[in-house]
Each structure stands twice: as structure tokens, then as C-alpha cells.
Amino acid sequence: MTTAIAERSQTASLPSLPEHGLQLTSGLTVSSTVAEVGWGRLPTAADRPRLARLLGILEARSRVVTRTDIIMPLTRLANHFRNERSVAEWQMLFEDYCLDLGEFSVGDIQQAIIDHRRTKPFFPKISELVELAQGHKSEREFSLKRVRQLLEICG
């Protein structure tokens, strides 16, 4: 049952956050005072293409989530943790996950599911995914704000 759901609801994977992009932003500052004391540097026009590419990735990961974006990775995850449920039970469970995870972006949810799969030996409770997704949402929103500020300075 769960495999059939996953096959019907394939979505394109999101671009990952490139390590060099995160390293780039950690060395830049939006404050000339901070740059003057050597704790970073102001972005230049040469940084613009990489910052713009990073912004595009962050914006793709910020896309509003759809039911398919939630159900497909959960269905794949269910295959790792054999839980025999009827079709009706799976549908009811997935409806609850969609309702409770709907406030997060597609990237927040996908990363929360990946984190859970790699660190926990059981199928996640909704509250566990909400907690993980909230952390990713905070990080993503901070990164989006920072990259936009850095791009403004580039001119």
C-alpha cells in the first residue's frame, strides 16, 4: 500500500544548500564596523553571483508545501519502519500529518524527515517532525534574511 502511494506522488527533489554558499555567508557581514575590526568583510560585486544562486536555492526550499510534499516522503519513510496498517489507517494518519505540518515549507519538512530517518529507529510522531521542522524553519528564515541583506550591499 505505502509503495503504491509513493510511486503515484513523486516530486522533484529540492536543491541542497551548497557548503560553499554557507561558508561564503559566514565570512561576510552587513556591518562596516564589524568589517573594520576584522570579523568579516562586506560583500562585493564579485560575491553577487554566488549569493544570488544561494538565494535561489533558499527560495526553492521555502516553497509552500503541498499534500504530496508531505505524503510522499512519509510514505518512503514508512517503508523503512514496517508498520502494518490498513489503507484507511494510513490515509487518516497522513491527513493528520498534512494538517499539522502545513505551516512549514517543503524544505523544512523534507529536512526534518531526513534528520529523523538518519537518527531514529522508529516512525516519527507528528510532534517530533514539528519540532525538527521548526528548527529548520528558523534557520532557513534567518539565512534568507541574511542573504537578501548581503545582496543589497552588493548593489
Q: Which CATH number characterizes residue 84's domain?
A: 1.10.8
Q: How far is 147 from 143, CA to CA, in rounded Å?
A: 6
State pTM to two decimals: 0.79
Q: How far is 136 from 48, CA to CA, in rounded Å?
A: 25
pLDDT of 6 higher than 70:
no
Domain count, the chain: 2
79 inside domain = yes
Q: Give the structural domain span for 31.
A: 19-61+142-154
Length of the chain equals 155
- Nearest-5° angle of CA 149, CA 51, CA 22? 95
pLDDT of 8 higher than 60:
no
11 inside domain = no
pLDDT of 83 higher than 50:
yes
Are residues 46 and 99 located together in one domain of the fold? no
pLDDT for 31-81, tens place per residue? 888 878 888 888 999 999 999 999 999 999 999 999 999 999 998 888 887
Q: What is the DSSP letter of 27?
A: T
pLDDT of 18 higher than 70:
no
